[in-house]
């Protein structure tokens, strides 16, 4: 035990909400049963078996209203691991559920026994044939694939609203489609081939020339069973007609029976069946997709109508004109979206009866684009639109920022409505499809049904395809509320099937909440065939029981989760998982969603429970210490939940009054600290890395890994003591050299001016001279204290930097240029809550400008490149994303380099000031995929604009990352 290790008890909730009906019982406090853990560790090795209670609880929730705590979590690394655990499960009568992103809305990513994580080690994109096809591993998000394809002018066909978070494996397994896919651009239509692992452990590559021969030899019963079913279906003309009719609409309910009509061989049938099989027939280990054209020219509008019916009646007009997307949003949805970052606040005043259509035309060339503009104008003239409210314009636009806002609002539908739900209520998301010609009628019927059951629901959907989504909120802890939901579901399913002959699940797949109603839609004959398919492929019922097929008429009411209240900053979370792909600790400990899930389990527990104690014991490191605190989760979250802020508040909660006073003293004497750190860096220059690693490791063990940084070989020597001489009278801006750039030199081997010298020189060269104040020692952006939760130290430094900036800038007359993006964010935004009233007023008068924005806006127009770089790779930092300057990094890089590469996996490096030194494992995990991408190629320059992040990236890649402004100075030097 280190001297200053935090006390886990300080994170104990002041007031737990338990005992809840779905709490984890105390007998499970020790985690995975010993025998199961021993078996799997012996089979796979200890690093692949997660078994603590914290491990199990954090995987117990997905984006659905269900919650099942697994017995064990296996982190599979390859198909051999998957095959081993599948064979083990069959031999021991156990159950398996596969989980990737956990964005599924119907409990498909949850199980009670063995849960297999197939996200962490399953990422990878290979573009084939100049983008005509793409090979994708199942843990890769759709957003990452599209980033890689966009360079070739191509996209994936499926485009669900959760594209930034959902993985390709989940998209295929659920046949998720989205805004533009319809029934022609989904996984079933565009999947060229896949590699799968059958429940027996047999691996099948459907693209192999001898795939059928191999399947017949390795799985003879499966092979003959599929062909026998094909013959049986083809002999039943009425059934063929029924199957074809069902897939004229979007339909993901049950297994794809048209696979037997579309596939001519057993392997082709198997490939089709895997689409939409929801992890119940096998594991999809790799996919090859045909891609679609990106069509960059867009013409978009958000049109407001008097009511849902009027909006629905306009949909066929846009469909007939060739609109790529026609999205419907009702008044409740629009008002809820007013809470979404970037959406106009006056949407909150939109009347309840109003409805809107988000319409978008897309074109590959100018001629088609002009035709779309004319078609849109013609339709617009015929419509009856609502009177605009505030920012509502009712016109087509092409401004990228406006169009992004429209789509951001639409994609945030579920989370925005979820944020507005009553506290403690569970959110149910359903989707269904009717013939597009009957969309208006379906809207009216759904509204009437909701009113009858007392639900004030929100409705949105892919109107072009007759596909509607709606959300319901109820308290799963109250039996009468569960019964109200059950009554609604009975009536809803009867309405869709009997009145519209529609699809009960258009694109979210059957899941746990539609299994009791599968037969009502498909009929006895087709449902019996689905049971036989399951028996042929998974005779022991090993995979995901209850996800597609279940005989229990109340199966959809099992496992409904309660939502106990937690800290206000995170309480609106609906556990959708949008935050997870950007989290630096996602492959190390926990994600933002998991931090919240674990906290909610604490709130389910009664006082003194063994489960509470077990969770608290691991929460400090798993959740609090290894959170980078970068708050990129806030950017990814459609309703801006800042889990990083919650973790920093927990860090503060663990501090004693004495620790807070000491942190404030450090802030007060920061100039002495600067000198000490510079001296230590100078010693490091003359001492071997191994010696310093040993010394810092010993100190960390003795004191605390939260207070003593580790030594890493990429830590540079001290920066030059002397800053550039500048003239205040001629300066058009004040240049603040951040403390990290006053402390750390650039990477070894990078000769020439330091960063401060480079900025001064290139600004002068562009005719925009800057002044460097002489009294910067002892000042800081306060992020050091803010990130650790030291509020007293944060207050000291926040007020000091504002007072000095006020003096330096002549009371705000000159802008303040800051040369580290995290410090720009700190001074510009994060200091505000800690300022005195006087300094708040001063801060409001300051103009804080990031050095990237300074260069892109004020310097580039006056500079000429004389020494162009061939290739550069850039690392956009998390603070750049908060500031919106990541594009400015690219602008600067493209100004000075012929070819600029932005890694597909570029995210927060996890260095987070000094957190990468306190927990270097965080940076190593956060940068793993980006580093692999960078080191697979060779570049002339490795550019960013934040020194500590550059140190982190150098540690991860071994490449000399440095500021893009150093490169800009080099590239624009006059030719002598």
What pLDDT is attached to residue 696?
A: 63
418-455: burial string, b at 16+ Cβ within 10 Å, e else: bbbbeebbbbbbbbbbbebebbbebbebbbebbeebeb
* 799's tokens: 């007020």
* 708's tokens: 């003593």
What pLDDT is attached to residue 3?
A: 46
445 inside domain = yes
What would the 3-class secondary structure string for 769-789 be?
A: CEECCCCCCCCCCCHHHHHHC
Q: How far is residue 52 from each of residues 284, 345, 618, 748, measured CA to CA in Å?
A: 28, 44, 9, 43
Phi then psi for residue 98, to 5 deg, are -90, 140
Q: How far is residue 162 from each of residues 166, 240, 300, 633, measured CA to CA in Å?
A: 6, 34, 20, 14
Q: 51 by DSSP, 3-state: which?
A: coil
Residue 77 and residue 121 in contact, taking contact as beta carbons nearer than 8 Å: yes
Statement to judge: residues 421 and 496 lie in one domain:
yes
β-strands 72-75, 96-99 pairing: unpaired
Statement to judge: residues 611 and 746 lie in one domain:
no
Residue 89 and residue 95 in contact, taking contact as beta carbons nearer than 8 Å: yes
705 inside domain = no
* 261's tokens: 């009509």
Question: Nearest CA to 20 among 651, 566, 444?
Answer: 566
What DSSP string describes 63-74? SSSBB---SEEE
Statement to judge: residues 755 and 892 lie in one domain:
yes
Question: Nearest CA to 555 among 564, 568, 542, 546?
Answer: 546
Range of the domain at 961: 733-971
125 inside domain = no
Statement to judge: residues 478 and 613 lie in one domain:
no
534 inside domain = no
Residue 779 and residue 740 in contact, taking contact as beta carbons nearer than 8 Å: no
When divided into structural domains, the chain yields a total of: 3
What pLDDT is attached to residue 694?
A: 66
* 847's tokens: 């103009």
What pLDDT is attached to residue 457?
A: 75
> Distance between terminal CA atoms of the chain?
62
Question: Nearest CA to 413 among 847, 684, 63, 753?
Answer: 63
What pLDDT is attached to residue 1?
A: 42
Statement to judge: residues 445 and 576 lie in one domain:
no
Domain final residue pick, 647, 682, 704: 647
Q: How many CB atoms are located within 10 Å of the residue 868 CB?
A: 12
Statement to judge: residues 474 and 569 lie in one domain:
no
Domain final residue pick, 647, 665, 688: 647
How far is Cα 944 from Cα 701, in angstroms, rounded to an integer?
33
Statement to judge: residues 465 and 371 lie in one domain:
yes
What pLDDT is attached to residue 692?
A: 56
| DSSP 8-state code for residue 629 | -
Helix axes 657-668, 791-808, angle to 10 degrees: 20
What pLDDT is attached to residue 393?
A: 83
Statement to judge: residues 311 and 442 lie in one domain:
yes
Query: Which residues touch 627 (CB under 8 Å, ≥6 apart)?
Result: 585, 595, 643, 644, 647, 648
pTM tops 0.85, yes or no: yes
Statement to judge: residues 495 and 621 lie in one domain:
no
Taking only the tens place, the pLDDT of each residue in 651-667 is 999 999 988 998 899 89
Domain final residue pick, 647, 672, 698: 647
Question: Nearest CA to 43 among 5, 2, 91, 9?
Answer: 91
Q: Residue 473: in which H helix or E strand, if any?
A: strand 467-474
Statement to judge: residues 496 and 568 lie in one domain:
no
- Rg of the Cα atoms in the chain: 29
105 inside domain = no
Q: How far is residue 680 from each of residues 374, 379, 518, 920, measured CA to CA in Å?
A: 68, 71, 69, 19
Taking only the tens place, the pLDDT of each residue in 770-789 is 999 999 999 999 998 999 99
How far is Cα 967 from Cα 948, in angstroms, rounded to an integer?
17
What DSSP string describes 844-910? HH--EEEHHHIIIIIIGGG---SS-EEEEEE---HHHHHHT-HHHHHHHHHHHEEEEE--TT----S
Statement to judge: residues 770 and 635 lie in one domain:
no
Q: Residue 231: in which H helix or E strand, if any?
A: helix 220-234
Statement to judge: residues 361 and 430 lie in one domain:
yes
How far is Cα 678 from Cα 672, in angstroms, rounded to an integer?
10
Cis preceding linkage at 19, omega within 30 = yes
805 inside domain = yes
What pLDDT is attached to residue 689?
A: 62
Instruction: Walk along the chain (976 residues) in steps of 10 and give the mean pLDDT of each run.
Output: 69 84 96 98 97 98 96 98 98 97 95 97 96 98 96 96 95 95 96 98 98 98 98 98 97 98 98 98 98 96 94 94 95 91 91 94 96 96 86 89 93 88 91 93 91 88 94 94 97 97 96 97 98 98 97 96 95 95 97 98 94 96 96 93 96 92 90 82 67 64 65 80 94 97 88 94 98 95 92 96 98 97 96 97 98 97 97 97 94 98 95 87 96 96 96 95 97 92
How far is Cα 350 from Cα 336, in angstroms, rounded to an integer?
10
Question: Nearest CA to 428 among 495, 500, 499, 488?
Answer: 488
CATH code at position 480: 3.40.462.10
How far is Cα 725 from Cα 756, in angstroms, rounded to an integer?
10
């Amino acid at each position: 035990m280190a001297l200053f290790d935090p006390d886990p008890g300080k994170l104990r909730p002041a007031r737990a909400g338990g005992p809840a009906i779905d709490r984890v019982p105390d007998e499970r406090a020790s985690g995975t049963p010993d025998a199961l853990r021993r078996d799997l560790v012996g089979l796979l090795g200890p690093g692949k078996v997660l078994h603590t209670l914290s491990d199990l609880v954090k995987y117990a929730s997905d984006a659905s209203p269900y919650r099942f705590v697994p017995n064990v979590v296996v982190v599979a690394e390859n198909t051999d691991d998957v095959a081993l655990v599948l064979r083990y499960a069959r031999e021991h009568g156990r159950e398996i559920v596969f989980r990737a992103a956990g964005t599924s809305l119907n409990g498909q990513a949850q199980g009670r026994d063995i849960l297999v994580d197939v996200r962490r080690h399953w990422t990878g994109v290979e573009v084939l044939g100049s983008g005509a096809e793409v090979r994708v591993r199942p843990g890769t998000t759709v957003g990452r694939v599209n980033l890689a394809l966009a360079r070739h002018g191509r996209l994936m066909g499926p485009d669900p609203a959760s594209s930034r978070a959902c993985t390709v494996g989940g998209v295929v397994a659920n046949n998720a489609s989205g805004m533009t896919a319809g029934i022609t651009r989904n996984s079933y239509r565009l999947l060229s081939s896949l590699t799968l692992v059958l429940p027996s452990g047999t691996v099948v590559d459907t693209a192999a020339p001898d795939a059928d021969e191999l399947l017949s030899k390795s799985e003879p019963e499966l092979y003959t069973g599929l062909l026998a079913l094909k013959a049986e279906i083809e002999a039943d003309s009425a059934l063929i007609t029924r199957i074809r009719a069902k897939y004229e609409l979007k339909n993901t309910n049950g297994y794809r029976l048209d696979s037997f009509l579309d596939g001519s061989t057993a392997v082709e049938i198997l490939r089709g069946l895997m689409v939409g099989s929801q992890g119940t027939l096998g594991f999809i280990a790799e996919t090859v997709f045909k891609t679609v054209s990106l069509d960059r020219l867009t013409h978009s509008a958000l049109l407001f109508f008097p009511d849902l019916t009027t909006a629905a009646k306009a949909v066929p007009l846009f469909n007939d004109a060739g609109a790529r997307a026609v999205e419907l949003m009702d008044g409740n949805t629009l008002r809820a979206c007013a809470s979404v970052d970037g959406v106009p606040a006056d949407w909150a005043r939109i009347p309840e009866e109003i409805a809107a259509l988000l319409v978008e035309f897309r074109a590959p060339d100018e001629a088609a684009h002009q035709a779309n503009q004319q078609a849109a104008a013609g339709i617009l003239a015929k419509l009856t639109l609502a009177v605009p409210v505030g920012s509502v314009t009712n016109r087509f636009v092409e401004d990228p920022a406006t169009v992004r806002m429209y789509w951001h609002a639409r994609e945030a539908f579920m989370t925005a409505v979820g944020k507005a739900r009553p506290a403690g209520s569970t959110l149910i998301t359903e989707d269904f499809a009717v013939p597009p010609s009957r969309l208006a009628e379906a809207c009216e019927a759904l509204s009437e049904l909701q009113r009858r059951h007392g639900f004030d629901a929100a409705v949105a959907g892919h109107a072009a395809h007759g596909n509607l989504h709606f959300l319901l909120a109820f308290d799963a802890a109250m039996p009468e509320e569960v019964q109200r939901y059950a009554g609604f579901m009975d009536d809803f399913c009867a309405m869709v099937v009997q009145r519209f002959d529609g699809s009960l699940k258009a694109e979210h797949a059957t899941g746990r909440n539609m299994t009791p109603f599968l037969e009502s839609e498909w009929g006895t004959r087709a449902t019996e065939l689905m049971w036989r398919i399951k028996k042929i492929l998974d005779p022991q019922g090993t995979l995901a029981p209850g996800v597609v097929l279940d005989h229990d008429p109340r199966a959809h009411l099992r496992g409904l989760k309660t939502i106990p209240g937690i800290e206000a900053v995170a309480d609106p979370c609906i556990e959708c998982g949008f935050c997870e792909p950007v989290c630096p600790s996602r492959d190390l400990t926990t994600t933002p969603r998991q931090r919240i899930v674990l906290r909610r389990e604490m709130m389910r527990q009664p006082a003194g429970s063994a489960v509470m104690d077990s969770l608290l014991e691991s929460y400090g490191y798993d959740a609090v210490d290894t959170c980078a605190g970068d708050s990129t989760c806030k950017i990814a979250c459609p309703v801006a939940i800042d889990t990083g802020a919650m973790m920093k508040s927990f860090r503060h909660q663990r501090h004693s009054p004495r620790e807070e006073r000491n942190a404030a003293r450090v802030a007060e004497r920061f100039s002495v600290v600067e000198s000490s750190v510079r001296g230590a860096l100078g010693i490091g220059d003359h001492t071997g890395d191994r010696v310093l690693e040993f010394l810092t490791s010993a100190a960390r063990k003795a004191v605390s890994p939260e207070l003593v940084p580790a030594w890493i070989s990429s830590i540079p020597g001290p920066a030059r003591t002397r800053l550039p001489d500048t003239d205040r009278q001629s300066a058009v801006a004040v240049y603040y050299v951040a403390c990290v750039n006053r402390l750390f030199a650039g990477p070894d081997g990078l000769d020439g001016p330091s960063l401060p010298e480079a900025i001064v020189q290139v600004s002068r060269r562009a005719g925009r001279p800057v002044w460097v104040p002489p009294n910067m020692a002892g000042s800081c952006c306060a992020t050091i204290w803010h990130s650790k939760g030291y509020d007293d130290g944060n207050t000291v430094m926040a007020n000091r930097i504002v007072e000095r900036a006020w003096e330096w800038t002549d009371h705000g007359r000159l802008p303040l240029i800051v040369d580290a993006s995290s410090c720009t964010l700190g001074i510009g935004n994060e200091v505000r809550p800690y300022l005195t009233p006087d300094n708040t007023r001063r801060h409001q008068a300051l103009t804080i400008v990031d050095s990237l924005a300074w260069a892109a806006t004020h310097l580039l127009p006056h500079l000429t490149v004389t020494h162009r770089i061939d290739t550069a790779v850039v690392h956009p930092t998390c603070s750049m994303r908060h500031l919106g300057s990541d594009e400015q990094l690219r602008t600067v890089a493209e100004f000075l380099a012929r070819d600029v590469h932005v890694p597909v996996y570029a995210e927060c490096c996890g260095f987070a000031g000094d957190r990468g030194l306190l927990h270097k494992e965080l940076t190593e995990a956060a940068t793993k995929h980006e580093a692999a991408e960078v080191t697979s190629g060779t570049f002339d320059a490795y550019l960013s604009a934040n020194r500590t992040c550059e140190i982190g990236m150098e540690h991860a890649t071994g490449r000399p990352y440095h500021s893009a402004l150093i490169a800009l100075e080099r590239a624009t030097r006059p030719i002598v």
